[in-house]
Amino acid sequence: MKETNKFKFYAAVILGNVFWGISNMLTKIGISYADPEVLLTCRFLTAFIILTVMMIVQKVRIDLRKKSFRSFLTMITAEPLQYLSESYGLAFSNAAFSGVVASLSPIAGTGLAAIFLKEFPSRRKVLFSLLPILGVIIITLDGNRIGYVQPLGVVLLFLAMLLSAVYRTANRGASQDYTPLERTWSVFLTCTTTFIVVALVRNHGDLSVYAEACRHPEFVASFVSLALLSSVAAHMLVNYGYAYMSVLTISTFAMLQNVIAIFSGIVFLHEPLTGAIVIGTILILSGIFIVNRTA
């Protein structure tokens, strides 16, 4: 791979994870005015409409009948299930435990990639990939003590972690045949459909919850920003890099989301900065740099 092309792919994945990182702050704003499933519905429905309009204007055609359809189908199924597992897992657990479990996703993703994609990273890469995992664990434990965690919460959060690894692995496989636009549009379609059904069931078909939430400009600004940045832009950018990076590399870059989420909260929501956050951030950034410099 040429150095200039490599830089473009890395820059795209980094920027995409930055946009995903600020989604925590935007989500915190949104759920202060409406339930999570209402916010998720508005976010992904808006993202789906935006992307569909862009495709119509540019006369882009979608062809989903390709060789790696099994990976593609796995990818578009895993993403909405991962969101739901994580959301309900938090209801029976807490943020610290969720962060620790989520940090194990690179390990699970590397194992799946070795089994299904025959991607075998070097021992040095695997070893140094533990640095950002350690950084995430330090940060999340500093932010919230583990406390009581119900068994159902453990099961759901581990399921969310595995689904995240499955999504990255399947996306890597599907990237061989499907364009970033085809993958992004299809994921938005399944997410939108899933979250609309869940929201309607949980609210007994009452659509007034959406009207009530949209009365607040802050809620509208949060889900529109989530749709544009953390959905359309982030998915397109990261999906662009999936075809040229290993699952381990992509999973390691995903740790940037924790750093961005924390510092956006410090800057915009005036959350505290602690020594553990500084140490964890150094470990995460060092691990990402070393993994991508190690042969």
Beta-carbon contacts of 5 under 8 Å, excluding residues fewer than 6 positions away, are: 244
Per-residue pLDDT of the chain (295 residues; tens, 9 = 90+): 555 667 788 889 899 989 988 887 888 888 889 888 888 899 999 999 999 999 999 888 888 888 889 999 999 999 999 988 877 776 676 555 666 666 677 777 777 878 877 877 777 777 877 887 788 778 767 655 545 567 787 788 889 889 988 998 999 899 989 989 999 999 999 999 999 898 888 888 888 989 999 999 999 999 999 999 999 999 999 888 877 888 888 888 888 877 887 787 777 777 777 888 888 888 888 887 877 675 4
For 104, list phi and psi in degrees, rounded to 5: -85, -5
Three-state secondary structure call for residue 215: coil
- Residue 174 is assigned to a structural domain of this protein: yes
CA nearest neighbour of 230 among 14, 11, 17: 17
Determine the structural domain holding residue 142 and report its residue range.
Answer: 7-291
The helix or strand, by DSSP H or E, that contains position 184, with its residue range, turns out to be helix 180-202
Tell me the whole-structure pTM to 2 decimals. 0.80
CA nearest neighbour of 85 among 160, 2, 4: 160
pLDDT at 8: 84
C-alpha–C-alpha distance, residues 19 and 149, integer Å: 30
C-alpha–C-alpha distance, residues 243 and 55, integer Å: 21
CA nearest neighbour of 290 among 134, 169, 99, 98: 134
pLDDT at 46: 96
- Helices 151-174 and 105-112, packing angle to 10 deg: 50
pLDDT at 29: 87
Cβ atoms of 108 and 161 within 8 Å: the answer is yes
pLDDT at 174: 92
pLDDT at 52: 94
**Burial of residue 6 (number of CB atoms within 10 Å: 0-12, 13-18, 19+):** middle
- Residue 2 is assigned to a structural domain of this protein: no
pLDDT at 166: 92
pLDDT at 106: 73
- Residue 1 is assigned to a structural domain of this protein: no
Domains in the chain, number:
1
Alpha-carbon distances, residue 16 vs 47, 163, 250, 285 (angstroms)? 15, 20, 11, 16
